[in-house]
Amino acid sequence: MKKLILLLFTTLILFSGCDNVKQKKEEPVIGKKNLTLTSDRMTPEVLWSFGRVSDPQVSPDNKTVLYGISYYDIPLNKGNRDLYTLDIKTNKVNQITKTAKGEYSAVWRADGKKINFLYCGQLWEMNPDGTNRKQITSVEGGITGFKFSPDMTKLLYTKEVKVSKTVHDIYPDLPEATGRIMNDLMYRHWDQWVDTYSHVFYADYDGEKISNDIDINKGELYQTPLKPWGGIEQVAWTPDSKTIAYTCKKLYGKAATLSTNSDIYFYNLETKKTKNMTKGMMGFDIAPSFSPDGNYMAWESMERDGYESDKNRLFIMNLKNGNLTYATKNFDQNVGNITWNPDSKIIYFTSDWHGSFQIYKYILNTGEIVQITHGVQDYRGIALAGDRIIAPMQKITLPTELFSINLENGESHQITFTNKDLLDQLEMGKVEERWIKTKDNKDLQILVIYPPHFDKNKKYPTLLYCKGGPQGPLSQSFHYRWNYQIMAANDYIIVAPARRGVSGFGQAWQEQISKDYHGKSMQDYLDAIDAMAKEPFVDADHLGAIGASAGGWAVYYLAGNHNGRFKAFIAHDGIFNEEAQYLETDEMWFENWDKGGPFWEKNNKVAQDVYAHSPHKFVDKWDTPILCIHGQKDYRVAVTQGMTAFNAAVLKGVPAEFLYFPDENHWVLQPQNGILWQRTFFEWLDRWLK
C-alpha cells in the first residue's frame, strides 16, 4: 500500500522497550552470538541471527564512519541496537556502546569531538570512543528526533504532543473507561490510534543543556514529520541557523485522509513567522535539504494530489530569487536520499532501475544526470566521505553491509563484514534475471531464485511471488520475512515477476496497475509462471502462489482465477473484499486513486469495474488449499479481511488455515512471531507441494 521502510519500524520495535533512563533492574545485553551451524541451509533462526547494519554517518574529518547494528535475541523475544565506528583507512571496527536499551539516531557533532544519540527517549552525547556519556535533555514524554543548528547554539527536536481531548478529559469521573469517541476520520493510522501529534520544538543550547523550548506547531492538529514513515529527514536547518524547514500536511481528519498534499514550511526564529515554500505544488513535498552555501533548497516532490506512488522528483529552489528547477524532468525514475556535495555544485541521490538501486549525481550548472554505480545490488543511502561515498548496500544474497564507493568511477568495495561468520557457513541460491514477452508483447523482467545445490536434472516445486505495494520496487532487498533465500533453502524455486505497477521501469509501467489490479498485472503473473513451468526442472504439477498486502490481494484473486495452475496459496495481510476495504482502511487517498472512487458511485464505470473484480466475488471458484495470515494491529488492511477470507474457504470446504497475530501490524516484527510465521509458512507449503 505504501513504500515500506523496514528500518524505521525495526527501530520502533527495539526502542519500545525503553521506559525510562534509569533501569529498574539488571537487563541482559543483546549482541552478536557466534553460531556454528549444522547445515548450510538458511533457517528462521539463522535469519533472525543476522546483524542488521544501518545509518552510516561520516565524521567531519572524513576519517571515521559511525553506524549501528541491531541484533535480536530469540529466547528474550526482543532486539537491541549498539553503535560502532570504523576507521575508513584501516577498516578497523570498534564497538562503542553495549547497553541493554539501545542507541539510535546517532550523529557526529559539528566539530567531530562528540557523538550525539537518542537513548531511552532523550538526547545524549559521548566521546567518539563511547566514553563520558552524558544526558543533554530531560524532555517530558521523551523526544523522537533531533538536529543541532549549524552554529550549535540551538537544538530542534520532535516530540509527541496531545492536542485533542480524550474521554478522560471530558469525563474525569470515569478514569477506568476504555471507550473512544470519534467525530472525524484518520482516528487511527498504520498501527496506532491517533492520540498524539508529532510537533517540532526548538530550544537554546549552551553546550551543556537546553532551555526556552518553543513548539513551532503549537495548537495545530497536524503531524511534523508525516506519519507513519517520516523521520527527522523531513526537518532541516538553513545553513545560517536562522530558519527551520519542516514537512507538514496542514490538513486534519477527513481532509487529511483524502489528500497527500504536504508542503515544506519555513519557520523564522527571529520573526516567529511561518511561510509555505511549496504552495501550489499539490502532491507530497518532503525532505528539504539545503546546499552548504545556503543558496538552494532541494527536496523530493510528487506532482498529483492523492497519488502516493507518483514519480518522486528532484526539485531545487533558488532561495535568492525563488526560481524553481525541476531537475529530473527528463529522468523517468524516482529520487531518494538527496545529498549535497560540499561545494554546492552537485546533488547525489539513489534511484531504482530494472531491479537494482543505484547512485546518481545531478550537476547543477549543466542539468546533467550521471549514473555513478552499476551492477546488481541495492544502495539504500549516501554518506559522503571526501572523494568517496559510504553507502549501505544489500543483495538478495547479502544482508546490509557498508560499502565504500569511488565518486569518479563508481568502483566499490565492502568495508564491514558483520555477518561474514554466518554467511561463510551458508550456501546461497543462485539469483538469475530473465526477460520474457507478456501476452500483450511487453518485456517483463523476472527474478528467479534457485535452491542451494540446485540440480537441473531434478524437478522442484515452484512459488510465484506476488509483490505487495502494489507500486514500488521489486529489487535486491534482503528481507527478514519474505526472504527469497530461505524459501530457496527449503528446496523451492521462486519466480518473482516485475509485473505492471513495479517501479524502476518508467512511470507509465508503474501506473498501469492503478484501477486495474485484475488486468495486466494478473496476466503478467500468469505469463511468468507459465513460462517457468515449461522448464524441465520446474514441477508444473506443484506450483504455489504467495504474497502480502497487494500481493495478498493477488493471491486471493488468483485463488478464484487460476484455472488449476496452483496447488497451494498463502496470503498475508491481503485485501479480500474491496468494498469492505474501502471503509476499513486509514488512508482514503489510496483507495480513491487506485480503486477509482467509492463502491456506491453506480455511474462510476471505472470504480464499478474494480469492485466487480474484488477477490471475494470469485470465492465460488475456490478449490485450492489456502493459508491466511493477518495481524490485529494492521489498520491499513484490517484483520477482518484475513478472517473473512479464511471463513469463506472453510465454508466452501477448501482446506484452510488462519495464522493470527494479536500484537503485530502490517508486518511481523517480533523474533518469535517471525519464526512462527516462517515455520507455519513452510509447513503449509510442504504439506501441499511436496
Q: Is the model's pLDDT at 8 over the cut of 80? A: no
Q: What pLDDT shows up at residue 19?
A: 52
Return the CATH class of domain 427-689: alpha beta
pTM of the model: 0.96
Query: In the chain, what are the domain boundaries?
Result: 153-158+182-324, 427-689
Q: What pLDDT shows up at residue 25?
A: 57
Which residue matches cell numbers 489510496?
590
Radius of gyration of the chain (CA): 25
Which three cell numbers, joined as nine digits, stand for 654?
477448501
pLDDT band for position 45 (cuts 50, 70, 90) = very high
What's the average model confidence in pLDDT over 414-441?
98
What's the average model confidence in pLDDT over 645-650?
98
Tell me the three state secondary structure of residue 141: coil
Q: Is the model's pLDDT at 27 over the cut of 90? A: no
Q: Nearest-CA neighbor of 320 among 290, 280, 347? A: 290
Q: Nearest-CA neighbor of 243 among 109, 149, 153, 157? A: 149
Q: What pLDDT shows up at residue 164?
A: 87
Phi/psi-derived region of residue 52, left when phi > 0, alpha when psi is between -120 and 50, beta in every other case? beta
The residues facing 628 across adjacent strands are: 571, 658
What's the average model confidence in pLDDT over 266-278?
98
Tell me the three state secondary structure of residue 134: strand
Q: Between 9 and 370, whose confidence is greater?
A: 370
Please state, rounded to an integer, the average pLDDT across all residues of the chain.
95
The residues facing 54 across adjacent strands are: 68
Cα dist from 292 to 60, 319, 341, 459, whole Å: 14, 13, 8, 59
Q: Nearest-CA neighbor of 526 among 460, 472, 446? A: 446
Q: Is the model's pLDDT at 6 over the cut of 90? A: no
pLDDT band for position 28 (cuts 50, 70, 90) = confident
Q: What pLDDT shows up at residue 54?
A: 98
Q: Is the model's pLDDT at 326 over the cut of 90? A: yes
Rounded to whole angstroms, the Cα distance separating 282 from 303 reads 6
Q: Nearest-CA neighbor of 348 among 333, 367, 362? A: 362
Q: What pLDDT shows up at residue 163?
A: 85
pLDDT band for position 201 (cuts 50, 70, 90) = very high
What's the average model confidence in pLDDT over 615-635?
98
What's the average model confidence in pLDDT over 392-421?
97
What's the average model confidence in pLDDT over 311-322?
98
List CB contacts of 502: < 8 A, sequence separation 6 or more.
467, 469, 471, 472, 473, 474, 509, 510
The percentage of the chain sitting over the pLDDT mark of 70, rounded to a whole number, equals 96
Q: Is the model's pLDDT at 4 over the cut of 70? A: no
What's the average model confidence in pLDDT over 31-52?
96
Q: What pLDDT shows up at residue 22?
A: 47
Return the CATH class of domain 153-158+182-324: mainly beta
pLDDT digits (tens, 9 = 90+) for 659-677: 999 999 999 999 999 999 9
The percentage of the chain sitting over the pLDDT mark of 90, rounded to a whole number, equals 95
Which residue matches cell numbers 516445486?
461
Task: Give the number of other CB atoms < 10 A from CB of residue 431.
Answer: 20
The residues facing 592 across adjacent strands are: none
Q: Position 510: which residue type?
A: Q
Catalytic residue numbers, as ranges = 549, 634, 666
Q: Position 647: which residue type?
A: N
